[in-house]
Chain A
Amino acid sequence: MDAPVRVLVADDEEDIRLLVCVAVRKAGGTVIADVADGAQALRCARAELPDLVVLDVFMPEATGLEVCEALRAEPATAGCRVLLLSAGASPDDIARGLAAGADAYLPKPFTVAGLVAQVRALAVGTPS
């Protein structure tokens, strides 16, 4: 049996962060850390090298887009899967997210079922 996918969750809204953690667990993943800003997310990602990083776009210290670009720029973290969550739901918002290197983009409000499905889809083929 495959090892559970290791997930880092970053969102400045605690309620949303906890909701994402629940969805990750429902998808069979393990939350290795949940953090509240972009700088912490980047530090944690460099230290823990998670399989999947779930990032809110609008966060203090560094936005989800900036974190995503930084992860892609570094060889050690370039292979991490990235799922962006954002209240920005326009086609332009989604295009900007994907251009920053995200593997998927889920506009808020999302359904738990939809998030579970995304985590499962991104977990497929991760190094773990």
Chain B
Amino acid sequence: MTALTERATTAPHLPHHGGPARAVPALLAAVATAGLVLLVTTPGTPVLVGAAAAVALSVAELARRLGAQLTAAAELETQRRDLLTRGRSTAEELEVATRMMRARAQTMTSVIDAVTEQSIIGTDRDGLIRVWNPGAERMLGLPRADVVRLRSITDFHAPEELVGEDGPAPDDDARFADLVHVAQAHGSDVRDWTYLTADGRRLTVSVAITPRTDDDGEQAGWNFVGTDMTEARAAERLKDQFVSLISHELRTPLSSILGYLELVMDDEDQPLTAEQRQYLTTVERNAHRLLRLVGDLLFTAQVDAGRFTLSPEDVDLAGIVRAAEETARVTAAAREVELTVEAPAAGLVVRGDALRLGQACDNLVSNAVKFTPAGGRVTLRLTTGWRDRDGAAVAGPAPGTTQVAVLAVSDTGVGIPTGEQGRLFTSFFRASTARRNAVPGVGLGLTITKAITTAHGGTLDVTSAEGRGTTFTLTLPM
């Protein structure tokens, strides 16, 4: 390259194609020819004639070679100019790319530095910290300069949590392997870890662990994005304890109320008058109402805490729907609401938790009866249908569709204003129509029904028109 450059810089002295470059060998050839003619025309010198011919030939050859070299030099010059142009262009592109990279890095740094409520910690593949944002400084109490390239991420994790299948990790490498093994296997891992701060506090931090890749797509290390959940988790624990305490403290007196009521009402030796029985039946009904409320509160707390589990088995949904109708029949009759069931006589089997599905159906039916004025109608219709991958109803089987059980509970009741329908499944929400019509309830039934449906992989939808009625559609995979 250096030689090319040096030669190229002298190029302006060389003749160019079609100009003086071609003139030089032609001039030499003319000189040789003139000499030859001079020698040949000199009499009596045959030896000289032969020598002159040889010289002439040599000169011609030299001229030819010189011409070829000049042509090659001209081509090299062209290439040089081409390379220079390309080089300039590449240099400009490189500069633009470098500027963009700098800008991108600056953007990334400013974004990461702007995060003060979450810790963002980047490590190399061995756990040595390379990135430590202000959120990490704030959360863990150490400045970037004291950590980056000096400390391992495992220094900030409670050691008792870094325990693999073979027991406590013996060294830092093993501890780091324990920390990232789930993310290594599944691509990411989000869960609570205990972080240790510089001043000795222990924080409950929800950490998302993901692999970090370089420009070639190779794994360069790991990212740890953490949110301090210490106070939130403590509040959840308090709420759990509170709900558990309330549940116990309410169930125990209810046990006494219901138990002694049963003794009195079933005492064959001292039968009650009709009036006494009516009063005590009212007491019993309200005790059961309180009991349901306690159960609903406890169940909602379990759902919120993510501790809601199912006991799946093959369940005849048609039987459950008929049982729900039976449960609501007395109340519906008392309210002069017509209650009808349309369900496959042969049954309709789904995979699910019979107790919870019964609870969901009971909630929908009792709601429908509650919200329907006298003379109205509640219909329970159980059918099969098909859904596409997005959950939309389709006419029949096709690639990507699945068969589902569809329970539609329709009423001709007060309806739900359109603007409130999106909040129906929120705990303790009560529609304005419910409050206006003094329909009893606390706003947990639909939350629970939705949670049960979702846990079964199903959906719960609502369509309603104020003053005309409501249809809840519960769809479950078969």
Contacts and interface: CB of A to CB of B under 8 A. Distances in A.
B251 A109 contact: yes
Contacts of B259: 16, 19, 109-112
Question: Interface residues of B: mostly helix, strand, loop or mixed?
Answer: helix
Given A88-B248, A91-B309, A108 B255 contact: yes
A58 to B, nearest CB: 6
B309 to A, nearest CB: 7
B252 A87 contact: yes
A2 interface: no
B291 interface: yes
A15 interface: yes
Contacts of B311: 91
Contacts of B263: 19, 22, 112
Contact of A108 (B252, B262, B298, B302): B252
Interface string A1-27: 000000000000101100100100000
Contact of A109 (B291, B302, B309): B291
A113 B255 CA distance: 13
Interface in A80-128: 87-91, 108-113
B60 interface: no
B302 A90 contact: yes
A60 B309 CA distance: 30
Interface in B310-325: 311
Interface of A: 13, 15-16, 19, 22, 58, 87-91, 108-113
22 contacts: A15-B253, A16-B252, A16-B255, A16-B259, A19-B259, A19-B260, A87-B247, A87-B252, A87-B255, A89-B251, A90-B298, A90-B302, A91-B311, A108-B251, A108-B252, A108-B254, A109-B254, A109-B255, A109-B259, A109-B291, A111-B258, A111-B262
Given A22-B263, A112-B262, A112-B263, 15 more contacts: A13-B256, A15-B256, A16-B256, A16-B259, A19-B259, A89-B295, A90-B298, A108-B255, A109-B255, A109-B257, A109-B291, A111-B259, A111-B262, A112-B266, A113-B266
